[in-house]
Amino acid sequence: MDLLSFARGPALQWALVIFVLGSLWRLAGILLLRRKPDYAEPRSRATWRGALKLVVTRTWSRREFRASTAFGQSLGYVFHMGLVVVVFGFVPHILFIHSLTGLQWPGLPSSIVYVSGALTVAALVAALVRRLSHPVLRLLSNFDDYFSWLVTVTPVATGLLAVAHLGARYETLLAVHILSVCLLLAWLPFGKLMHVFLVFISRGTTGALFARKGAST
Amino acid sequence: MNTQRDPTVLESFQQQGLSRRAFLKFCAATASLLALPAARAAELAEKLAGMTRPTVIYLSFQECTGCLESLTRSFQPTLESLIFNTISLAYNDTLQAAAGEAAEAAREDAMRKAWGKYVLIVDGAIPRPEDGAYCVIGGRSALDLLRHAAEGAAAVVAVGTCAAFGGIPYAAPNPTGAASVQDLVGDRPVINISGCPPIPEVITGTIVYFLGFGVPELDAQRRPTMFYGTTIHDRCYRRPFYDKGLFARSFDDEGARNGWCLYELGCKGPVTYNSCATMKWNDGTSFPIQSGHGCLGCSEPNFWDGGGFYRPLSSGLWHGGIGEGLGVAAVAGVAIGGAAAVAARQRQKRITEAGKKPPEAP
């Protein structure tokens, strides 16, 4: 079995198994936790509306914090949107998802995906430089932050190298790209990348709590 | 004592009634095929003019004769030109007039006379178990014939994917224990010309290059980089459609009619190194992708076991079905998460109850 067949076969298969098992483990473990009873009279019973409102309003900073958070938040938007374009817009990726789920949608021109990929890598590198150069951020960062960054940037970078045929033969680069995706899938449920699933759940929970207490969202 | 020397390549041309000009045109066309600079065309002509026609032994083992069929359709240089003027084909069991013991004796005689200098061309895979009993020619196994012939060869040219990488006989479950030429005589200078079949001009071009300049530059699979240096995808005329995201989704949809990229239909062009997209077949008439079918990747190792000709390259190669595995993983994940939550709830309860107890009197 050559490296590409290994990457497309057993490696991807096991990575997906770990991804599904780990993600559901974490989600079930969190969602089935006992909630702390709140005996106070609720200020509002429209907790769902509060949850949805906070999910939307927390997508940008409040005015008083905007100047200090603009750079970091912009970087975050660039690489998150770039990742969405790359993962869900590139036809080979859509075909992979189709082979797994049966779902399919029209792809984007490759040039748009390549530009998005390059911007994503640039934004991720800038985010790492900021994390390393900012004294407070550096103090707050741990292994999870750096490893999560690494497993996020590697598939994008190897994917760009593969389509550009830079550094090695295409099939080797493709195999390395798929193996890096395997690493991402296997790590995602157990590190901070789990925010892929938890970000809106945690925001919604906070919003519902705020609504119940009558706090501003 | 026989003092008559063998004719040179140029003299062979002239004996056939061809002029020196025709010989130079042959060299120029071959150099052009090999993408050699003009100076090297003259060098090729000079070398071929002065050399006697080298002996070539062509052995066929586990194969379908498709490679030889392909070779007979070479347009430049043609097979006739090659065997009448450029090489001395001493043995090929399909093309030769002799048969049986006479043919085998002719082969042994030619090998003895040119020991250490002849070119050995091998077509087909070689079965190994039972001392190679699954492929026997004239009472000798293919394994024995190959090992003996390779010992005296200046170079071994493995023609076709079966000879180069095992090909279809090597495909799972490989019932005859087939092996490639390089697996068996890898210590000799082996040149692989893979393809099922290879492009005819790639076979003839490589042979002529070897006669003029020796073993060409080879890639990691021992294939001449002048023919196998780039992927079919890189040189495909449908590549702009790939870049635009325009793909045929079936063999008779609008995309197929418009000549869009065949990636979604399983084309293996991105991982297949060959010259099909540039040299094409039948004197540059067409190649499989131009005829509307995706590349099968036939010039790559294990192409027959690559997960299906019609599965896109980016799809997974699942072993035993992915659905069941993911289903079990999902159930296990929920079960472990649920158990963790129950344990956490009990811990929460214990803490809450401990908090309700009145403090003990000091």
B204 with B297, same domain: the answer is no
Q: What is the pLDDT of residue B359?
A: 65
Domain closes at, from B202, B227, B252:
B227
Q: Do A20 and B344 touch (CB under 8 A)?
A: no
Interface of A with B in 104-163 (CB under 8 A): 106-111
Q: Do B245 and A28 touch (CB under 8 A)?
A: no
Instruction: Give CB contacts under 8 A, 24+ apart, made by B252-260.
Output: B256/B292
Tell me if B326 is assigned to some domain: no
* Pairwise CA distance, residues A88 & A105, whole Å: 9
Interface with chain A: mutation pick from B264, B302, B314, highest number of A CBs within 10 Å: B314
Nearest to B333 among A28, A32, A96 (CB): A28
Whether the predicted pLDDT of B1 surpasses 50: no
Nearest to A99 among B271, B315, B332 (CB): B315
Amino acid of residue A55: V
B143 with B29, same domain: the answer is yes
Tell me if A76 is assigned to some domain: yes
Tell me if A136 is assigned to some domain: yes
Tell me if A31 is assigned to some domain: no
Nearest to B242 among A18, A100, A110 (CB): A110
* Pairwise CA distance, residues A96 & A112, whole Å: 19
User: What CATH number does the domain containing B262 carry?
Assistant: 4.10.480.10
Interface of A with B in 31-60 (CB under 8 A): 31-34
Tell me if B3 is assigned to some domain: no
Nearest to A96 among B263, B314, B345 (CB): B314
Tell me if A105 is assigned to some domain: yes
Tell me if A58 is assigned to some domain: no
Tell me if B344 is assigned to some domain: no
Query: Looking at chain A, which residue has its C-alpha nearest residue B244?
Result: A109
B285 with B190, same domain: the answer is no
Shortest distance, CA A202 to any CA of chain B (angstroms): 17
Tell me if B339 is assigned to some domain: no
| Residue B15 binned pLDDT confidence (cut-offs 50, 70, 90) | confident
B contact set with A (CB within 8 A) = 220, 231, 233-234, 242-245, 247, 263-264, 270-271, 301-302, 306-307, 311-319, 322, 325-326, 328-330, 332-334, 336-338, 340-342, 344-345, 348-349
B301 with B219, same domain: the answer is no
3-class DSSP assignment, residue B36: coil
3-class DSSP assignment, residue B88: strand
Note the pLDDT tens digit of each residue in B166-205: 999 999 999 999 999 999 997 889 999 999 999 998 998 8
| Stretch B56-70: mean pLDDT | 93
* Pairwise CA distance, residues B167 & B154, whole Å: 25
Query: Looking at chain B, which residue has its C-alpha nearest residue A178?
Result: B314
The tokens describing B152, both together, are 């005296």
Per-residue pLDDT for chain A (217 aa), expressed as one digit of tens each?
789 989 999 999 999 999 999 999 999 999 998 887 788 888 888 888 989 999 998 888 888 888 888 898 999 999 999 999 999 999 999 999 988 888 989 999 989 999 999 999 999 999 999 999 999 999 999 999 999 999 999 999 999 999 888 888 888 999 999 999 999 999 999 999 999 999 999 999 999 999 988 887 6
Number of domains, chain B: 2
Nearest to A16 among B233, B326, B342 (CB): B326
Nearest to A8 among B302, B316, B341 (CB): B316
Nearest to A193 by CA among A40, A66, A79: A79
Asked if residues B162 and B63 have their Cβ atoms less than 8 Å apart, the reply is: yes
* Pairwise CA distance, residues A162 & A181, whole Å: 13
Half-sphere exposure of B3 (CA within 13 A, CB side): 0
In the 8-state DSSP scheme, what is residue B303? G
Verify cis geometry, omega within 30 degrees of 0, for the bond prior to B173: yes
The tokens describing A213, both together, are 């207490």
Residue for token pair 């992927």? B231
Q: What is the DSSP string of B147-194?
A: HHHHHTEEEEEEESHHHHH-HHHHSTT-TT-EE-HHHHHTTS-EEEE-
Note the pLDDT tens digit of each residue in B311-354: 998 888 877 778 888 999 999 999 999 999 999 989 888 888 88
Nearest to B277 by CA among B236, B316, B217, B325: B236
Interface check for A172 against chain B (CB to CB < 8 A): the answer is no
Residues of A in contact with B336 (CB under 8 A): 21, 25, 28-29
Interface check for A13 against chain B (CB to CB < 8 A): the answer is yes
* Enclosing domain of residue B16: 9-227
Interface with chain B: mutation pick from A170, A174, A190, A198, highest number of B CBs within 10 Å: A170
Interface check for A98 against chain B (CB to CB < 8 A): the answer is yes
Whether the predicted pLDDT of B53 surpasses 90: no
Note the pLDDT tens digit of each residue in B129-163: 998 999 999 899 999 999 999 999 999 999 999 99
Residues in chain B: 362
| Residue B360 binned pLDDT confidence (cut-offs 50, 70, 90) | low
Number of domains, chain A: 1
Query: Looking at chain B, which residue has its C-alpha nearest residue A12?
Result: B316
B259 with B185, same domain: the answer is no
Tell me if B338 is assigned to some domain: no
Query: Looking at chain B, which residue has its C-alpha nearest residue A162?
Result: B270
Helices (H), ranges, A32-58:
47-57
| Residue B109 binned pLDDT confidence (cut-offs 50, 70, 90) | very high
Q: What is the pLDDT of residue B145?
A: 95
Q: Do A174 and B271 touch (CB under 8 A)?
A: yes
Query: Looking at chain B, which residue has its C-alpha nearest residue A27?
Result: B337
CB pairs < 8 Å spanning A and B = 133
B218 with B296, same domain: the answer is no
B122 with B240, same domain: the answer is no
Nearest to B319 among A9, A98, A109 (CB): A9
Verify cis geometry, omega within 30 degrees of 0, for the bond prior to B288: no
Those residues whose C-beta lies under 8 Å from the C-beta of residue A5, and which sit 6 or more positions away, are: B302, B306, B307, B317
Residues of A in contact with B344 (CB under 8 A): 29, 33-34
B103 with B200, same domain: the answer is yes
* Pairwise CA distance, residues B229 & B248, whole Å: 27
B61 with B193, same domain: the answer is yes
Tell me if A215 is assigned to some domain: no
* Pairwise CA distance, residues B107 & B59, whole Å: 10
| Residue B362 binned pLDDT confidence (cut-offs 50, 70, 90) | low
* Enclosing domain of residue A137: 3-13+65-185
Tell me if A167 is assigned to some domain: yes
B168 with B286, same domain: the answer is no
Query: Looking at chain B, which residue has its C-alpha nearest residue A28?
Result: B337
3-class DSSP assignment, residue A146: helix
Tell me if A41 is assigned to some domain: no
Interface check for A2 against chain B (CB to CB < 8 A): the answer is yes
Residues of A in contact with B230 (CB under 8 A): none
Q: What is the pLDDT of residue B319?
A: 74
The tokens describing A28, both together, are 């079930």
User: What CATH number does the domain containing B155 carry?
Assistant: 3.40.50.700
B66 with B132, same domain: the answer is yes
Whether the predicted pLDDT of B3 surpasses 60: no
Asked if residues B295 and B268 have their Cβ atoms less than 8 Å apart, the reply is: yes
Q: What is the pLDDT of residue B4?
A: 63
B55 with B152, same domain: the answer is yes
Residue for token pair 């893979």? B194
Interface check for A3 against chain B (CB to CB < 8 A): the answer is no
